[in-house]
Structure 1
C-alpha cells in the first residue's frame, strides 16, 4: 500500500488507516481477521480511543498488537481534560492494547476555546501527555476535532501538537469550508501530520463510496482513517487505496456538480456567486451559517423513513448549533434581508432555489416560527 510521511514525526503511514470504533460492533474473532488482513495488505495505522466501548475496541486491537507490534503505528485518544485523569487513561490504554508505548496519543474531540484552554492549562491533559512522552509511553502528541475548525486552527498555532485529525469529505467541504481553505494550508505550512476521518461524512455518502474516497485521497493529507466492520467493506477500501489516482480539477468540479448528496440544495460556496454580484458574499455567509447549524441537511423535502432518519441523526452531529445561532445574529445582512432582494437574483449555476433556501434558513436561524 502507498505510504506518506506523517508530517515531521518521522513516521511513514499507509494511505488507508484502520479506525477502531466499529470494532465494538463485531465479535473478537471477526475483528482479529479484519485487522490481520489489513496489516497483511500493507496497512500499518491502527487507531482507537479509550472511550470506544469503554476499552473494548482497545482490547480487541490489543490481541493483534501483542503479536505484530513492530508493524504498526498505534494511536489512541483521551477525552479526559485533567492531567491525573489523562495519565490514568493513557496507562489503561497501554494495558488494553498490550504494549508499552503509543505512537500517538490524541487529545480527543476538542470542541471550543474553553475546552482547548483546559487542555493547555497547568494541570491539563497536555501536561500528562508530555510527561508520558518523557517516560517513553507516548511518542507523539496529537489533537482531534469535529465541525467548524476554528478551535483546531487556534490549537495548531500553539506548536504543541505534532498530528491533527479531523473530518474531510466532499459534503462537509461546503458546510465547513475553512477545513480546506484555512486548516489544510496551515498544517501543510507547519508540516503537521494530517489525518482525515469521516471520508463518508458519517455514512451519509454511502451511495458514492468510490468518489468519496478518491476525493479525500486526493487532498494534501497523509492518510485517510476509516472504520471497517466487515470483510466486504475492508476489501473495497483496500482496493480503492491500491487503485487510487488523484482527481483532476475538472473531475472535482464534475463531482461537485453531479453528486446527489449535494444536489440542488447545498451551497457550493463559489468564489464568484452566480446569483448576485452585489449580495453574493452575504448569500454565502448566510448559507455558511446553515452549514454550521445542521450541515444543510434539513431542506423541507419529503423523504423515505430511512433517509429521513439518517439525516435527522447526522444534522446536529457536531454540536455547532449554538455557534451558528450566535454567529448568524452577528451577520450584517441576514436571510430575511436577502429575501427582500430575491427578485433581483440570477439563477444559481448549481440549480439552487435561492429564495426557498433563504426561507428555510430564516426558519432555522431567523425569526420565522414556521417554514414558509
Structure 2
C-alpha cells in the first residue's frame, strides 16, 4: 500500500480509503471488513451520519480491537449542513457519541450541493463557526466538504479558504471537475475521490465492449490507475461490502504510463467514431435550460451508452433524475419543449432537442433513488 500527503493536513493517507456505506449487513461483517482493510495497509476510514449504522459499527469496532490502535488510524465522518447551528452542533455531538470518540481526524460537510448549503455554512454563527469551535476544542482536527454540486459551486466553496480537504467526484468517464484538481493543488487541499467504481461507471459489472477497449486491464483497474497516476489526488474511496471486496485494491500495482495512454487513446477514438457529429464535449454552455434539464449530464450518459455500451449505467443514473433532489438535480429529457434556447449556445452546433429525445428513449427505465436519502 502506498501513502500520500493529504494536502495541508499533513496526514499520510493510504491511496485507498475504506468507505463504510455498504458493509452494513451485520456488525460481524463490518468488523471483518475493517480488519482486512487495516491489515492490508488502509489507514483512512470514512463514515457518515447518514450511512445507517456505520458510525455505531465503527465505534464498536474500535472498542472491540483492530490491527492498529486508534492513534494510527485516520477517521473521517460527514454531517450535512444545516441552517440551524444548534441542530448542527447536536448532530456533531451525536456523531462523536456514536463513534465513541473524543475527536475525528476529518469532519466533512456532507453534500455541499447548492448555493444555499454554502450560505448556511458561511453565515455568521453558521456550520463553519460550530466546526471551528470544535476544532479549537480538539474534537475535530481538519474540516472539509463533500459535494455533488456543479463545478462553479465547488470553486466557490474552495475560494472561502475554510477547508483543508475536498471529497470529489472525478473519474475517467466524468472529467468535468478536472479544474478542481488544479485549484486543490494551488490551495494545498487534500483530494479524496469518492465512488470511483459505482458513480465512476458501475465498473464492477462492465459491458463486454468496455472490457475489450480497456484490455489488458479491466475497466475498474484502468480507472483506478488513471486516477492514481495523478499526483494531485491523495486517496480513492473503496466501498467494500465484505472483506473479499478489498482483494483487488490491496494487490493493485502502479499503472504503466504508456499502457494507460494507449487505452485512453483507444477510448477517445471509439467515442469520436461512434458519436460522430452528435458528440457532446461537455462544455456546459447549453445551461441553464428553461425546463431544468441537465443537458450535459443527459448527453454524457448517451455518449457512454453509444460508445461503450454503458447503457445499464446510463439507465441507473438517468433514473435518478427527479428522484434524488439536490444530490442529482435535473428533470428527464422528455421534458424538452423544443424551445431552442440552448441551440445558439452550443459550440458543436448539436441538435440538442433531437439528442434529448433519443437519450430518453435509450435510457428511460425504472426510476432509482439514492441508497441513503
TM-score tier (shorter): 0.7 to 0.9
Q: Residues 107-146 of structure 1: matches in 2 within 5 Å?
A: 107-146=109-148
Q: Look up the match of 1:204.
A: 202
Runs of 5+ consecutive residues of structure 2 not aligned to the other structure: 207-218, 289-293, 361-373
> Does the 8 Å CA contact 1:44/1:71 hold for their aligned counterparts?
yes
Instruction: Report Cα offsets for 1:19-64 as digits up to 9, x if no partner.
Output: 111123x2111111111111011110000111111xx001111123
1:313 and 2:308 correspond = no
Change (3 A) 1:15 1:150: same
Matched residue, 2:242: 230
Matches within 5 A, 1:157-176: 157-173=159-175
Specify which of 285, 301, 308 is matched with residue 296 of structure 1: 301
Do the aligned residues in 2 keep the contact of 1:48 with 1:77 (CA within 8 Å)? Answer: yes
* 2:58 is the counterpart of 1:61: yes
The SS at the match of 1:133 is helix
Distance 1:332 1:298, change over 3 A: closer
Q: Could you tell which deviates more after superposition, 130-139 or 286-295?
A: 286-295
Q: Structure 1's 36 and 155: CA in aligned 2 closer, same or farther, altered over 3 A?
A: same
Q: 1:231 to 1:313 in 2, by over 3 A?
A: farther
TM norm structure 1: 0.75
SS in 2 for 1:75: strand
Question: What's the secondary structure of 1:224's corresponding residue?
Answer: strand
Q: Which runs of 4+ in 1 moved over 3 A?
A: 242-251, 255-259, 262-268, 284-289, 292-295, 297-301, 303-309, 311-318, 328-332, 361-365
Q: Deviations over 1:121-152 (max 9, x none)?
A: 01211111111101100000001101422111
Question: Residues 231 and 60 from structure 1, CA distance in 2 versus in 1: closer, same or farther, beyond 3 angstroms?
Answer: same
Distance in 2, matches of 1:164 and 1:305, equals: 30
Instruction: Report the Cα distance in structure 2 between the residues aligned to 1:183 and 1:164, rounded to whole angstroms.
Output: 9
Is the alpha carbon distance of 1:22 and 1:194 closer, same or farther for their aligned partners in structure 2, counting shifts above 3 Å? Answer: same
Name the SS for the 2:191 alignment partner: strand
Does the CA-based 8 Å contact 1:65-1:99 persist in structure 2? no
Q: How many residues align?
A: 324
Name the CA shift for 1:33/1:201 in 2 (closer, same or farther; >3 Å).
closer
2:225 to 214, 224, 229: 214
Counterparts of 1:239 and 1:295 in 2: how far apart (Å)? 32
CA change 1:28–1:295 in 2 (3 A) is farther
- Range with bigger deviation, 69-78 or 201-210: 201-210
Check the 8 A contact 1:75/1:102 in 2, yes or no.
yes
1:330-365 CA distance string (max 9 Å, x none) = 657157x94xxxxxxxxxxxxxxx66x761237789
Aligned to 1:105: 107
- Asked if the contact 2:7/2:164 (under 8 Å) is kept, the reply is yes
SS in 1 for 2:163: coil
Q: Tell me, in whole angstroms, the C-alpha distance in 1 between the residues paired with 2:299 and 2:122.
A: 29
Runs (5+) with no aligned partner, structure 1: 271-280, 339-353, 366-372
Which residue does 2:9 correspond to in 1?
9
Alpha-carbon distance between aligned partners in 2 of 1:308 and 1:144, rounded to the nearest angstrom = 23
Quote the offset at 1:256 in angstroms. Answer: 3.6
The aligned counterpart of 1:44 is: 43
Aligned partners of 1:230 and 1:30: how far apart in 2? 6
What's the C-alpha RMSD, in Å, of the aligned pairs? 3.7
Aligned position for 1:348: none
Do the aligned residues in 1 keep the contact of 2:280 with 2:299 (CA within 8 Å)? no
Structure 1 residue 211: Cα displacement: 1.3
Partner deviation per Cα, 1:86-113 (whole Å, 9 max, x = no partner): 2211211112112110001011101121
